[in-house]
Each structure stands twice: as C-alpha cells, then as structure tokens.
Amino acid sequence: MSCLPCCGSREEEEEETKGGSGGGGKGGGDLKKEASGDASSRRVSRIGSDKSKSRGGSDSNKEGSVRKDGSNTHIAAQTFTFRELAAATKNFREDCLLGEGGFGRVYKGHLENGQVVAVKQLDRNGLQGNREFLVEVLMLSLLHHPNLVNLIGYCADGDQRLLVYEFMPLGSLEGHLHDVPPDKEPLDWNTRMKIAAGAAKGLEYLHDKANPPVIYRDFKSSNILLGEGYHPKLSDFGLAKLGPVGDKTHVSTRVMGTYGYCAPEYAMTGQLTVKSDVYSFGVVFLELITGRKAIDNTRPTGEQNLVAWARPLFKDRRKFAKMADPLLQGHFPMRGLYQALAVAAMCLQEQAATRPLIGDVVTALSYLASQTYDPNAHNNRTGPSTPRARSHHRTISGQSDNSHYTVNSPSQNSPDVRGSPLRMERARDATRNVNRQRTLAETKENWRERKRGSAPGSFDSTDE
C-alpha cells in the first residue's frame, strides 16, 4: 500500500515550527503542554538530542513521569541504549524480523528481564523523521487505553531512533484479512465484529477522552495489532495530530497518510477533523466485512478501489450478501450483515458533516459484537440468499398512505399476483425502500436504548 507524500514530513516540521515560542511546533509544542508541568515537558523534549547515556551506571533509565489527561496517573517511559536493543534482537537478525514498512523494520526481541517486545528500528533514510519519532513517543507516553498499543521505551543513541512496544503475538489485522494462506483459519464473523468494536473504542478514546482531542490520521488495517483473543490495539502514532479546540472546526496540515484510507475532503483540502478518522475507520470496517483490500490493483477495473466498488452496492439491498467475504463461506447473520454495511456506509459518506461521531459508531458496533452468531442455530439465515429470496409473505408499511399491504418475495418464479409488471415493480421498489429504512431504524433504536442515560449524541444529532 503506497503512502501519500510522507517524505514531506521534514518540510511540515519546518512549517509548523515557524513562529512557535522556543521552537516548539504545533504538534510537539501542544503535546508538551499536555505533560504535567514544564519540567516534564523539558524532560520529554530531550529525546531529539538524547544520547541515552545511563545515569548512575545503569544501562537504561526511566523517563520523568507525566500525567495523562489531567489525572494523577504517572506514566514512565524507559530509555534504552542501542547496544541493549541490538542484544535483545540478536543484532537485528533476519529470523527476528516481524515486518517492514515505509518507516523501517520491526523485530521481535527479548529484554534482559525476559520481557518479549517489538522493536521498531526507524530507517534513517526512510519516511519517518525526528518529528514523527518525537510525536509517537509523546503520544504513547501520555495516552493509555486498552485499545492502544503500549510503548515500553525508546532509544535515541546518536542518529539511531528505535521504539520499543509490547509484543502483539497475532500480528496485524491486515495479515488475517488479505492473502490468507490455505492452512490458516480465516477470521469468523464474531471475531471481525469484536475487532471492529475494539478498534473503534481506541479511536473514541483519542477523539472524546483525550484533551485536546487527537486525530489518528493513519487508521488502516496494518496499524491494528492483535493480541491474545484477537484483542485489537492501535499502533503507529507518528502521524497523529492534535485536533481543533475552541471554536475551530478543523486543523489545516499537509496531506499525509495512506492512499485508499484518506477522507476525500482531507485529501483535497488538507483540512483535518475527527470525521477524517471516521472515514478511514469505515474503509477498514468494509475490509473486515468484504475481505477486500482498500486498494487492490490485481482486481478488474472498477473493483480496484474498495469504496468506489462498494458505493453503488450500498444502494441495492439484494447485493448485500454478495459483498460478504467469501472466506466466511456464508457463515454470518444476514441481519447483522445488513446492519454492519449500514454502519460502514454512514462512515463513508462523502460529506464529513453527515458521518457519525465515533462514539455512535462504538455504540452500534458494541451492539453488533454482543449479538454472538451461532452458525448451527442460524443455518436457515445464511448463505448467498437474502431475505428477499424467502418464499413467505411479508407485511410492510406503505410510505405514501400509511396503509399496510402484503407482497410476495420477488423470486424469479413468483407469479405476478398483482397483475401488471408496472405495479409489481412499484411494489418491489417500495419493499426495497421500506426494508432498508427498517434495518436502519432497528439499528438506531438499539443504539438509542443502549445510550439512554449516557452523554448525548447519535446519528440523528444535529450538532455535527
């Protein structure tokens, strides 16, 4: 997956530091203010020039504690020497390599205390510069949540820049969705909904709990790491940005991220909001549902861009079942699929203002994840068929006169009991519209029931 011009990060750093007091940029300076007191800020800001010299003869030490979100929780970031991390990764041997990206390589390592870690060695000629390194250390030192990866420490020896994370044994979500080898079990429906709900909770923490809000800016399947039990955590915060505060509606910044995941308004104008993350989440959620890549040049023209391929299908309920990942082999709840696609479609609205807030997405997906699917108990509601292929009659509400009438399902062999083809076609259109509205209404009602008594906000809210 190609990235947008991240190589311009050094220019962005220079632009953002102009006019800043003490040389602090918009990202780094504001983040430092989030630390508890000026002393903590100064200690954290030393990363750029810190040689990781040991104090008192110790090879590593703990960074000064900072407060998270104004609470009394003290977070300690550990510093490592390059020699320590080289020893932990067996001198960065190939058999310890976990993955490689535009920012460098990630190795599995064992610290002296026996702890298993993931060590990201930034490529000195790569896309991530000192600014992104500093932002990631600051972000993960200040922000802690069960759905955010834990930063154990860092190394800034000379021109070496390394980050040490907790080890996530199941790797990235991308590796479980795309190019799955035959001997590997694909993710089932329940696990996919659990991963989506957990990843959304991580975004909700960044948007709604962090103060000021944080825009992730690089939400994609390869940045969602999976722990035991497929517990998801967001990783790689080098492109994270502080969101707008006060009466500001957006943050203007250089366009950076991964092609296929960027919101259209951000890609065109550089205006960044939390709704930009919601769009990226919609792309990943659609990946979970369909098993397709955000951008796949091996597919026929018209299917290479996932969102462009899905948009016309969102309008035809009869094609919803065909959008499900073939690796599921029909083992998914039809109603759950419709509701999941409804959520994805709302997140992928072209206009940012019409997208839901991430808190509403969390409510919806928490409900979907709680509806455990048992393939043995739902065999009659799975597979390529849709509710429109069932032979029983359906009672629906007429939209124009509020009258109730019954229509047969429009299977190929159904007789035209209504007479003219025109009348039957009108009945089919009414059925499609009402069924779609019914699905959305049921989903919203479930969300409202679960959100009663909590903070206001829903897909119907007018404060977006």
In contact, 237 and 139? CB cutoff 8 Å: yes
Strand ranges (E), 144-219: 151-155, 162-166, 214-215
Task: List, in order, residues 6 or more apart from 140 with CB less than 8 Å away.
Answer: 148, 149, 150, 151, 237
CA distance 150 to 432: 46
Q: Is 120 annotated as a binding residue?
A: yes
Record the tokens describing residue 10, joined without a space.
Answer: 């050094």
Q: List, as one string, the DSSP characters of 115-160.
A: -EEEEEEE-TTSS--HHHHHHHHHHHHH---TTBPPEEEEE-STT-
Which is it for the CA torsion 9, 118, 206, 448, positive or negative? positive
In contact, 356 and 342? CB cutoff 8 Å: no
Q: Which of 238, 234, 274, 47 is nearest to 139 (CA)?
A: 238
> Pick the catalytic residue: 157, 218, 325, 360?
218
Q: Is 218 a catalytic residue?
A: yes
Task: List, in order, residues 6 or more apart from 137 with CB less than 8 Å away.
Answer: 44, 47, 77, 151, 154, 163
DSSP structure class, residue 206: I
Binding residues: 120
Catalytic sites, residue numbers: 218
Binding residues for ATP: 120
